[in-house]
Each structure stands twice: as C-alpha cells, then as structure tokens.
Structure 1
Amino acid sequence: MSGLEVLGGISAVIAIIDGSVKVWESARKDLKFSATFETVGNRLPILRDILQTCLEQFEPIKTSLPADAAHGLVKTVNNYKRRAESLGIIF
C-alpha cells in the first residue's frame, strides 16, 4: 500500500461527493425533501472541503508514510469510498 493509493482513494471520494452535491443542488430546487435529506445535503459540501484539505495536506508526505500507516489509510479511504458510492446512488 502506498501514499499514492491513499491520494487516489481520497480523490475518488471527493469526485463522488462533488457529483452528489451537484445532483443535490439541482434536485432541491424542484423537489421537497425530508429534514434528513436536507441535513445530509447541506453537509456534503463541508465533507467535500474537508477531504480536499486532507488531500492537500497528505500530498507532501505521501512518499515518507510508513507502510503500515499507508495500509490503514487505504482501508479507511476505501471504506469511505464505498459509502460515498452508496450516497451517490441515492442522490
């Protein structure tokens, strides 16, 4: 596992969330959603920005990251990627 895999995973999650944000912003103009959907939809841009900050902070250290730390991060990012993909399907 490498830092590049972590970067790729974070980038993929950002892309999925960004797509979900675009769909959300478009759909909410025409449809009435429950409070839960409103809450999740309003948090998506924040989550996207947090992940973008993580990506930018991780970039400089990607090659010096210990293998076990990179492995743990890859597993975590892949878990979030699966969740983001599910969210993308919902939106």
Structure 2
Amino acid sequence: MNKLGKEAKVLLYGITITCVISFLLAFGISSLMAKEYQKDLMQHDYFMAGYLLNHSDALELSAFTAEQNENDIETGRESMKLFL
C-alpha cells in the first residue's frame, strides 16, 4: 500500500467507510423490520386464539377471514399467557 498515492488511499478509506456504514444501516433497518413483523405475527396469533375461543360454533377457516376486534385479541392474549 506504500506505492499508492495519497488520493488513492483517501478514495479507498472513503469506500471502506461507506461500505461499513451501509452495512450497519442495513443491519439496523432489518432488525427493526424483524421486530415489527414479530409484533404483527403475535397480534395475529392472539386474534386467532381469541376468535376460536369466543366463536366455538364457527368454522376454523372463518378465523382467517374475520375482522379483528379487541375482545378477541384480549381473550387470545390472556389464553396464550399460559403457554408463554
């Protein structure tokens, strides 16, 4: 690296720093997205459990197409606390 000029060294350092910052930024964004997805998935699971508990006469398939409401989500959250 001694044979490289000052401009080449500055360029290589700049490229390296840009790559490291980009990697860290991508890692941070993907971590936030994963946490948000986990939260949404747990909300869905709570709803499914609550809907199936509150509507025992309905078909299981209808739990996938029904509108979510707070009562079903809260029932599911309380029932799944036993397993978590």
Q: TM-score under structure 2 normalisation? A: 0.40
Structure label with greater radius of gyration: 2
Which protein has the bigger helix share?
1
Q: Higher relative contact order by CA 8 Å / sep ≥ 6: 1 or 2? A: 1
Tell me the TM-score normalised to structure 1 length.
Answer: 0.37
